[in-house]
Amino acid sequence: MIHETSNTTEKPWKNLLMVRKYRPQLILSTLIPSFQQLTGINVVVFYAPVLFQTLGFESNASLISAVNVCTTFISVYCTERYGRRVLLLCGGILMCLFQAAVAILIGWKFGTTGVTTILSQSYAILVVLCICVFVAAFAFSWGPLGWLVPSEISPLEVRSAAQCVTISMNMFFTFGVAQIFLKMLCWMKFGLFIFFAAFVFIMTWFVYFYVPETKNLPIEEMSQVWRGHRYWKRYVDDDAAANLKPRGKPEEEIV
């Protein structure tokens, strides 16, 4: 068994890309880091000073960073207690709601003309509060779990390749969002938050139907997750059935 595992580990890319039973790992390792960046979190973290100045009030970048760091500890405490899916779903719902709220608040004051409007202190605080809740929801869900879930769903023989896919997709979308954000903000105005909220809705739907729960499950036993999943089990079962098919002609029965 150890010798067979060592041999398959020599071809992680071929296994991940070509073997049907590893299709769930390939899809999740691609989509989870992509969705993580399409939440728009880096828009808020990287460009918070520009964003807040555009909205008409002072920069609160340090507040956003503090909320992000502190709320991450919720994930540390709750991941093994309540499961990955619960946190991902709760975080997705909160992010979607409060991104939509930010879009409504900004659209109500600025509209689509981009004309500078003086915001009252209470109104500005309300916008900042919605953004902080959005950041907090990301920090206890898609922030840490966007790395944890892809790292634990892959078996040894494809884990190195799957992790390369995860990191590559994360960096690609981080770069892409950072490059187009300012142009999108000038063009879409408050609609930018609706754009990212739509992706948050899609990824929350994706988690509900396609991301299995891996709470309290050792990595060595991760294969049973796919066999028990209502959708992914077809890949594992079909592959297992193919391996059980006899090869060549069966030997004649001795009478």
* Residue 249 domain flag: no
Both tokens assigned to 27:
């899809």
Q: How far apart are CA 232 and CA 80, in angstroms?
A: 23
The confidence band for 172, taking pLDDT boundaries of 50, 70 and 90, is: very high
Q: How far apart are CA 231 and CA 206, in angstroms?
A: 12
**Could you tell me the CATH number of the domain that includes residue 75?**
1.20.1250.20
HSE-up of residue 82 (Cα within 13 Å, Cβ side): 14
* Residue 7 domain flag: yes
Q: How far apart are CA 151 and CA 85, in angstroms?
A: 15
Going by C-beta distance under 8 Å and a sequence separation of 6 or more, which residues neighbour residue 13?
Answer: 161
* Residue 185 domain flag: yes
Both tokens assigned to 93:
């719902």
* Residue 119 domain flag: yes
* Residue 25 domain flag: yes
pLDDT at 110: 67
Q: How far apart are CA 46 and CA 48, in angstroms?
A: 6
Q: Is residue 114 pLDDT above 60, yes or no?
A: no
CA separation, residue 86 to residues 122, 160, 200 (Å):
33, 27, 15
* Residue 253 domain flag: no
Domain count, the chain: 1
Percent of the chain exceeding pLDDT 90 equals 35
Q: Is residue 246 pLDDT above 60, yes or no?
A: no
Buried b (16+ CB within 10 A) or exposed e, 130-141: bbbbbbbbbbbb
Parent domain of 146: 2-244
HSE-up of residue 199 (Cα within 13 Å, Cβ side): 18
Candidate from 14-18, 140-144, 239-243 with smallest mean pLDDT? 239-243
* Residue 252 domain flag: no
Maximal CA-CA distance, the chain: 96
pLDDT at 135: 92
* Residue 168 domain flag: yes
Q: How far apart are CA 74 and CA 17, in angstroms?
A: 35
Q: pLDDT of 70-98, one tens digit each?
A: 899 988 889 988 999 999 999 999 999 99
Q: Is residue 253 pLDDT above 60, yes or no?
A: no
Closest by CA position to 160, among listed 41, 46, 23, 14: 14
